[in-house]
Structure 1
Amino acid sequence: MEISESNIKVLIQKIAQLKTEIQKVIVGQDAIIEEMLVALMAGGHCLLEGVPGLAKTLMVRTMSQALDLSFRRIQFTPDLMPTDIVGTEILEEDHVTGKRFFKFNKGPLFANIILADEINRTPPKTQSALLEAMQEFEVTYAGQTYPLDRPFFILATQNPIEQAGTYPLPEAQLDRFLLYIKIGYPTAADEVKILSSTTGGVKHKVEAVIGAEEIKQLQALTREVSISDDLITYVSELIRATRPDTSTVSYVKEWVRWGAGPRAGQALILTAKAKALIQGRYAVVMEDIQHMAYPVLRHRVLMNFKAEAEGVHPDMVTAELFKSISRIQTKL
């Protein structure tokens, strides 16, 4: 997809406008908003985790309003079936000929932006129905394949504290999320703004500032952002160092049960490119990689029992890796 220089400038401006529109409603959480935009530009999906009341659903809905795209919300519950999200065949009759035939009735998955709310509350059978859609951008029903609308962007939420009656996502599905974003409590100043802005009578209207074709152009432009061979090698060393059987980092050998695969390296490079583009740069720098490594790796590095018992989490492993892998960094 050829993009002219003038169009590139317009697209970069649209990113800034998109952030501004979302921030009309969402106070603070600037880093979270940026990571969601990174995933959109890189063409991947997000898993958002946070305790109730942190505006996860509102954040996704506000983002969908700022994008001129179709949006559907799916509330995941224990009784939700795969056909409830993919769709099903219904029997219809041709009123002219009187013949009956089956027609595929598309489910809510056929939209540009999908909010999969509380995804861990539905059984694995329904969770797995998302796998093909997330990876192949198509669904299969009764032997027939149906392409999904593009761009296609899934934003799933889950609650980390209520584990009764939930079904943890399998590793295969977790790996298909480009980013695993954890949402924390707002700062004291932001919380005052939230209380002030949400308890009055003024409601901010979010305007759609970018459409499907422009998002496709942004996704193509993201892949054109340059990255040096040294940084690609650094990413490769970082990913390989997460694997306890080949890692030379003692911290990994002690705490990690299973390391990240090649898809993690692809995700890290793509998201670093998107991060650079959001910052108005056309080349990746080390800070882009170091910033995106946390949401890229935290669901792809599996901790062993000892780590879980002692509260060692993947972000701590990532931080330790940055300290240990310095050979290439010193040359940059």
Structure 2
Amino acid sequence: MTVAEELPSEIDPAVLRKSLDEVRRVIVGQEHMVERLVVALLARGHCLLEGVPGVAKTLAAGTLAAVTGGTFARIQFTPDLVPSDIVGTRVFHPSSERFDVELGPVFVNFLLADEINRAPAKVQSALLEVMAERQVTLAGVTHPLPRPFIVLATQNPIESEGVYPLPEVQRDRFLFRVRVPHPSAHEELEILHRMSVTPPVAERVLDPGTLAGLQDAAERVSVHQLVADYVVRLVMATRSPAEYGLPDLADTIEIGVSPRATLGLVAAGRALALLRGRDYLLPDDVRDVAVDVMGHRLMLTFDALADGVDPEEIVRQILHAVPPPLVVWNQNR
């Protein structure tokens, strides 16, 4: 992969930092979650937010949509949900004696799938086409979704009653799985001061056209061959850990990450580099996103699951064992 062209003059990465600041004006703390949401948006990926209720997952999704000027819809997933509730259906109108297509709530820029693991398998399968192809097929007719499009899903990792674990193929469609912790004592006090009166309202900073240009700019971020090789080595270490000095992981990992993880590491790293004001990818960018990109894609053995092994800790072991390259970037080449 060669050095990318310089960013067009009309694309100003500084507007991304302004957008981040605007979201942070509403969301107290949760810096990691907010940054990952913006990175996923730039990388044209979907994001799974995992955390207990009340940690601002839904508020963050709505605030990001307001800042970027995109349309927003929230679907509360429940066990009685059916595919037509989200993608749409054909409706018969007696006055005209014909069927018309009624498009579902997925036809927005930002789709919040709240408590996604509460919906049954048929709904999850209908969502796969939405996430992968960004389109909906009704009665043999394909309807493309608006661009940009991102699915922000939430789930409670603690609750087990009345939930359906997401299938591996659907987890693989998410660029990130971000764990959202409880706020600290200082942040809790700030939440009390900020939200107990009139809550702040985010102002619009971007528009869908500018956002699309920033997504194109992220795809043009340059990737050095050594960094690309580093990405591949990280992925291969999950499939053949013994070859990378991690023989103990052979009994822990059932199946390594898929090629989507390889593409996701590069796409997310490029978006993070652009957010940091660079038009080239560094190994540190890859390392920063590796846990959120790879953790949910690892399939562990039954014994590892029984022992409560955290897949994110496995990714951190791999990052420690696989050395990054030393890239000296020449801006003139």
* Shorter-chain TM-score range: over 0.9
Name the structure 1 match of 2:48.
47
Matches within 5 A, 1:7-46: 7-9=10-12, 12-46=13-47
Alignment of 1:101 onto 2:98: yes
Alpha-carbon distance in 2 for matches of 1:295, 1:203: 30
Q: How far, CA to CA, are the matches of 1:114 and 1:275 in structure 2?
A: 22
State whether structure 2 residue 233 is matched by structure 1 residue 237.
yes
Alpha-carbon shift at residue 24 of structure 1 (Å):
1.4
Correspondence for 1:221:
217
Task: Write the deviation string for residues 88-114 of structure 1: whole angstroms up to 9, x where unpaired.
Answer: 1111256xxxx5211100110111110
Residue 161 (structure 2) pairs with residue 158 (structure 1): no
Distance (Å, rounded) in 1 between the aligned partners of 2:272 and 2:285: 6
Matched, 1:324 2:327: no
Deviates more, 1:185-194 or 1:172-181: 185-194
Match in the other structure for 1:5: 8
How far residue 8 of structure 1 moved from its aligned partner, in angstroms, is 2.3
Number of equivalenced pairs: 323
Structural mapping, 1:134-283, within 5 Å? 134-199=131-196, 201-244=197-240, 247-248=243-244, 249-283=246-280
Query: What secondary structure, in the 3-state scheme, does the structure 2 residue paired with 1:237 have?
Result: helix
Q: Structure 2: give runs of 5+ residues left out of the alignment.
A: 329-333
Q: 1:109 to 1:247 in 2, by over 3 A?
A: farther
The code of the aligned residue for 2:88 comes to G
Aligned 8 A contact 1:90 1:104 in 2: yes
Separation in 2, partners of 1:197, 1:331: 44
3-state SS of paired residue (1:226): coil
TM-score by length of structure 2 reads 0.93
Between the aligned partners of 1:203 and 1:311, the Cα distance in structure 2 is 39
Contact 1:244 1:257 survives alignment (8 Å): no
**Residues 1:288 and 2:291 aligned together:** no
Match of residue 331 from structure 2: none
Q: Distance in 1 between matches of 2:31 and 2:10?
A: 26
Shift of 1:189: 1.5
Structure 2 letter corresponding to 1:177: F
Matches of 1:85 and 1:186, distance apart in 2: 32
Q: Distance in 1 between matches of 2:219 and 2:128?
A: 24
Instruction: Give the Cα separation in 1 of the matches to 2:252 and 2:311.
Output: 9
Q: Secondary structure at the match of 1:91?
A: strand
Opposite residue 89 of structure 2, the aligned amino acid is: T
Which stretch shows the higher mean deviation, 61-70 or 163-172? 61-70
Distance 1:218 1:299 in 2: 27
Off by >6 Å, runs of 4+ in structure 1: none
Supply the distance in 2 between the matched residues of 1:323 and 1:80 (Cα, whole angstroms). Answer: 43
C-alpha contact 1:259 1:301 (8 A) present in aligned 2: yes
- How far, CA to CA, are the matches of 2:130 and 2:312 in structure 1? 28
Distance of 1:311 and 1:253 partners within structure 2:
16
8 Å Cα contact 2:241/2:249 also seen in 1:
no
Q: Secondary structure at the match of 1:298?
A: helix
CA contact (8 A) 1:251 1:320 kept: no
Closer/same/farther in 2, CA of residues 29 and 237 from structure 1, 3 Å limit = same
1:247 CA drift (Å)? 4.7
Worse-superposed segment, 114-123 or 135-144: 135-144
Equivalent AA in structure 2 for residue 329 of structure 1 = P
Matched, 1:87 2:84: no
Shift of 1:187: 2.1
Q: Is 2:66–2:204's contact at 8 Å kept on the other side of the alignment?
A: yes
Q: What is the CA–CA distance in structure 2 between the aligned matches of 1:123 and 1:62, rounded to whole Å? A: 28
Measured in 1, the distance between the counterparts of 2:74 and 2:321 equals 43
- SS of corresponding position for 2:264: helix
Determine the C-alpha separation between the residues in 2 that align with 1:144 and 1:306.
46
Measured in 2, the distance between the counterparts of 1:130 and 1:89 equals: 18
Amino acid in structure 1 at the alignment position of 2:21? T
Q: Percent identity?
A: 41
How far 1:311 sits from its partner (Å)? 2.3
C-alpha distance in structure 1 between counterparts of 2:176 and 2:217, whole Å: 20
CA-to-aligned-CA distance 1:70-95 (integer Å, 9 cap, x gap): 1110000000000000001111256x
Greater CA drift, 28-37 or 201-210: 201-210
**How far apart are the structure 2 equivalents of 1:120 and 1:187?**
27
